[in-house]
Structure 1
Amino acid sequence: EIRLKKLVREEDPKAFVIITDVHEVVGEGFQGIE
């Protein structure tokens, strides 16, 4: 997480980034767990 923040900051200091744990993803291209 810290390396990602540093990389983003170096590439675009004004970037907006959200880092969060994900428990469920729904949408086109995602398959359900069987």
Structure 2
Amino acid sequence: AISIAGRYNYRIAGLNLLTAIIIYWNTILFRTDA
């Protein structure tokens, strides 16, 4: 159970980090285009 919960939390954290990186990268691209 602990292993499953650990993987689930890791997946959520990974998605959140990936989303933050995409948003930040898009902001940089938009600033560059502007």
Q: TM-score band, normalised by the shorter chain?
A: 0.3 to 0.5
**Normalised TM-score (structure 2):** 0.35
Structure showing greater relative contact order (alpha-carbon pairs closer than 8 Å, 6 or more residues apart): 1
TM-score w.r.t. the length of structure 1 is: 0.35
Task: Judging by fraction of residues, say which structure has more helix.
Answer: 2
